Amino acid sequence: MNYPDEHARASRSADFRFYEELNDFLPEERRKVSFRQNFQGTPSVRDAIQAIGVPHGAIDLILVDGLSVDFSHRLQGGERVAVYPVFERLDISPATRLRAEPLRCSRFILDVHLGKLARYMRMLGFDTAYSNDWDDDTIIEISLEQKRIILTRDLGILKQRRVSHGYWVRCSEPLDQVQEVLNALDLSRQLRPFTRCLECNGDIHAVGKDEIRSHIARDIVDRFDAFWQCAECRKIYWQGSHYQRMQERIKCINRN
């Protein structure tokens, strides 16, 4: 005769509804609708959400039966769970935010797949950390230490428990990626073009000809009057043909 296992975890369920861009992580039939999710025992709401396939790093507000909860909240079964994306542009207090505060001074760190996006972000004036030899652990550590938003094409990094701020970049083309990030995080008012070094992310400042005369070709010194230099790597910039091309790209981005 078989007896029930006293320690077996009960099978339960809750109704989930995900909002806005969080639906991108779901199969078609679960997007923008309420659906029932089964689970065993009393998992944390974080574990239940990640089992569904949505990374916690993209979430900023969870309501369980209308009340805001944190990631550690335990599900008992029968709840209605509403999950909202990162509110970088909104103040949602006094609800229980799942991170301290939105990063009003937007700073970024990008994964190895987003090198061209990193250059565009720097061109627009955003503090953007990037190296093509950083692994996921290094990116997360820098993100936490320097309070940077992780931009990534890899969902796996956003599912790691330590991640606080992150955004999954959907587009594959660099110019489309720039527009996507600007729109998703409402960054259009923070643009400060040509204030960051494209190579190292350092601040750029104006310099006189005499300061840089010995570091660049004489014909460049003779042809141009205004020069800028990176405070970190000392790279020198001037408004040549490359500058005109970048201006056109910025106009294209702003038009969208």
Residue 196: per-residue pLDDT: 96
Average pLDDT score, the chain: 87
Answer whether 140's CB lies under 8 Å from 150's CB.
yes
Residue 229: per-residue pLDDT: 95
pLDDT tens digits, residue range 231-243?
Answer: 999 999 998 888 8
Band (pLDDT 50/70/90 cuts) for residue 90 is: very low
Taking the C-alpha atoms of residue 125 and residue 108, their distance in angstroms, rounded to an integer, is: 11
Whichever domain contains 23, its CATH number is 3.10.20.30
| One domain for residues 36 and 75 | yes
Residue 9: per-residue pLDDT: 60
Taking the C-alpha atoms of residue 205 and residue 4, their distance in angstroms, rounded to an integer, is: 74
| One domain for residues 184 and 217 | no
Range with lowest mean pLDDT among 93-107, 114-128, 195-209: 93-107
What SS3 class is residue 72?
coil
Domain edge (last residue) among 161, 190, 219: 190
For residue 154, being part of any structural domain is answered with yes
For residue 246, being part of any structural domain is answered with yes
- Could you give the number of structural domains in the chain? 3
| One domain for residues 111 and 185 | yes
Taking the C-alpha atoms of residue 97 and residue 95, their distance in angstroms, rounded to an integer, is: 6
For residue 96, being part of any structural domain is answered with no
Q: How many CB atoms lie under 10 A from the CB of residue 93?
A: 8
| Nearest C-alpha neighbor of 204 from the set 233, 224, 182, 178 | 233
Residue 177: per-residue pLDDT: 95
Which range marks the domain in which residue 111 is found? 107-190
For residue 6, being part of any structural domain is answered with no
Residue 241: per-residue pLDDT: 80
